Structure 1
Amino acid sequence: MDLFVLWDIDHTLIENAGVSKDIYAAAFTALSGREPSEPARTEGRTDRLIMRDMFVREGFPVPDWHVIETALAQAGEARLDELRRRGTALPGVQEALKAASAQSGWVSSVLTGNIAANALVKLSAFGLHSLLDLPVGAYGSDTELRPHLVAVARERVRRLRGAPADVPTVLVGDTPRDVEAALSTGSRILAVASGIHTPEELTAAGAAEVLPDLADTKRLLGILESFARHWQRPRTSSNRP
């Protein structure tokens, strides 16, 4: 396998227009019996951390994770039509995902803080789900810390698609937490300044490649192809007599 591309969802592939925070608030209300006093704090964290923080901040005991996950899934499913009405796929995303999925030897999936059910809701709202190999992705239900999701995705693509254990991996995301997850796991990072973080902030976090968004498919593919070549060169030279 030449490249394993893992895309963040919120503010990288789609703009959820506040629906995500509505989902967290609805799940919290369903389990606690009252609305939270302030919106969820997200910024690239996993659903496990986001929801735990809400309960602690509001002074409630934290329910078992499977109870929280069920409430999140129900809240997400109930807001599919609202997401379609308020949100949108970001510029160039359809073309970017189509181009990546068409590359021979590439597997394109997601690495997201969302639970799998809500990742599917968000992607299917804009017809993006069929352009991604979702079974090999990593989700907010898998682990608390975003960097740990990389190992989850690598194990799934190894087991389900026969990728090598050291499969060359690229993360595409809009926050410093995406950058951290890539750099701490030996992955490459393509940062996009389509969320709240500026190109300067993403560069300061360690991203060597930063795009304003995913609108320029040719440039995007060029960067991803350069990452693939980076991994191929050492392997080619090491096989020479």
Structure 2
Amino acid sequence: MSLISETPLPAETRLQELVHSPVLLVLWDVDHTLVENAGVSKETYAAAFAALSGIEPRHAARTGGRTDRAIMHTMFADHALPTPPWREVADALQQAGAERYEAMRLRGSVLPGVRPAIDALGADPGVVQSVLTGNIQPNAEMKLAALDLADGVDLAVGAYGADADDRAHLVPVAQRRAAHRYRREFGRRNTVLIGDTPRDVDAGRRGGAHVVAVATGAHTVEELTRAGATVVMQDLSDTIELRRHLARFAAA
């Protein structure tokens, strides 16, 4: 694995090269790791809840690294209401998210160092990068597309909030999808999860991945260290440092 090249490869060229080279699977969390959503997520949950229940929410969604399944179930429980069937919830979330694309484009932002990091890993034929996020796939894609990040990762092999209630269960989902697409086995030794919450750290530790935690959300370096992250960084502005850690994981 080179972790050197700076020029992103076309998707098909990358796929051809990856099946003949060592591979590290890098899974990015989305909110507060790649992007700052500036309240768009909370607005999406509130709108979906209102559409499903017919009332405006009295309690805001509790997010903090939870999956959309868990967030919406908790939101209905907080209002002493039964949770509708998941298909209805997912449809409402997708509709509410699509309606907020422009808000995400105008108010959201890419966090420091993210673009250079994605570009550097995208240029490396030894790296597959995707996402592991509590968002349902359409809403994750909406956020990344609104901020011109969607082309940098292989979203087809990601794991999303519709895939499981427990975030740790998303890690093997992504590993299986990547293994099928790239014809390589992925497990704890060659998977890295990058996120900003103790739930991300827990997901990686229990799900089977190294964890690089970044203190770009609500949690400090000290909190993420105590949670057990393999590596903790203040943010992603030092691309060389990130690549050094990933190269160490790959070499191990």
2:195 to 169, 173, 176: 173
Partner secondary structure for residue 184 of structure 1: helix
Of residues 111-120 and 176-185 in structure 1, the stretch that sits farther from structure 2 once superposed is: 176-185
Match of 2:32?
11
Give the alignment's TM-score, normalised by structure 2: 0.89
Aligned length: 230
Q: 2:83 & 2:240 partners in 1: Cα distance? A: 46
2:204 to 146, 165, 182: 182
Residues 1:148 and 2:191 are matched in the alignment:
no
Once the two structures are TM-superposed, the CA of residue 165 in structure 1 deviates from its matched residue by 4.7
Percent of paired sites with the same residue:
53
2:247 to 218, 225, 236: 225
Give the alignment's TM-score, normalised by structure 1: 0.93
Of residues 130-139 and 102-111 in structure 1, the stretch that sits farther from structure 2 once superposed is: 102-111
Matches within 5 A, 1:17-28: 17-28=38-49
Once the two structures are TM-superposed, the CA of residue 56 in structure 1 deviates from its matched residue by 1.1
Of residues 94-103 and 64-73 in structure 1, the stretch that sits farther from structure 2 once superposed is: 94-103
Q: 1:105 & 1:165 partners in 2: Cα distance? A: 13
Match of 1:39?
60
Residues 1:128 and 2:139 are matched in the alignment:
no
Q: 1:220 & 1:58 partners in 2: Cα distance? A: 42
Q: 2:164 & 2:182 partners in 1: Cα distance? A: 22
C-alpha contact (below 8 Å) 2:170/2:207 kept by paired residues = no
Once the two structures are TM-superposed, the CA of residue 186 in structure 1 deviates from its matched residue by 3.0
Query: RMSD value over aligned CA atoms?
Result: 1.0
Residues 1:104 and 2:122 are matched in the alignment:
no
Q: Which deviations, in whole Å up to 9, do the C-alpha atoms of 1:74-99 show, x marking residues without a partner? A: 00000010111111010111111011
Q: 1:213 & 1:53 partners in 2: Cα distance? A: 30
Q: 1:165 & 1:131 partners in 2: Cα distance? A: 20
Residue 165 to residue 108, structure 1, CA distance change in 2 (3 Å)? closer
Once the two structures are TM-superposed, the CA of residue 185 in structure 1 deviates from its matched residue by 2.7
Counterpart residue type for residue 225 of structure 1 = A
Residue 155 to residue 208, structure 1, CA distance change in 2 (3 Å)? closer
Q: 1:115 & 1:75 partners in 2: Cα distance? A: 12
Counterpart residue type for residue 211 of structure 2 = I
- What runs of 5+ residues in structure 1 fail to find an aligned partner? 231-241
Match of 1:67?
88
Once the two structures are TM-superposed, the CA of residue 159 in structure 1 deviates from its matched residue by 1.2
Residue 90 to residue 165, structure 1, CA distance change in 2 (3 Å)? closer
Counterpart residue type for residue 68 of structure 2 = D
Counterpart residue type for residue 6 of structure 1 = L
Q: 1:215 & 1:51 partners in 2: Cα distance? A: 33
Counterpart residue type for residue 119 of structure 1 = A
Once the two structures are TM-superposed, the CA of residue 215 in structure 1 deviates from its matched residue by 1.0
Once the two structures are TM-superposed, the CA of residue 174 in structure 1 deviates from its matched residue by 0.1
Match of 2:216?
194
Counterpart residue type for residue 142 of structure 1 = D
- What runs of 5+ residues in structure 2 fail to find an aligned partner? 1-21
1:95 to 110, 116, 120: 116
Q: 1:2 & 1:159 partners in 2: Cα distance? A: 13
Partner secondary structure for residue 43 of structure 1: coil
Q: 1:164 & 1:210 partners in 2: Cα distance? A: 26
Q: Which deviations, in whole Å up to 9, do the C-alpha atoms of 1:169-205 show, x marking residues without a partner? A: 0000000011111111331000000000000000000
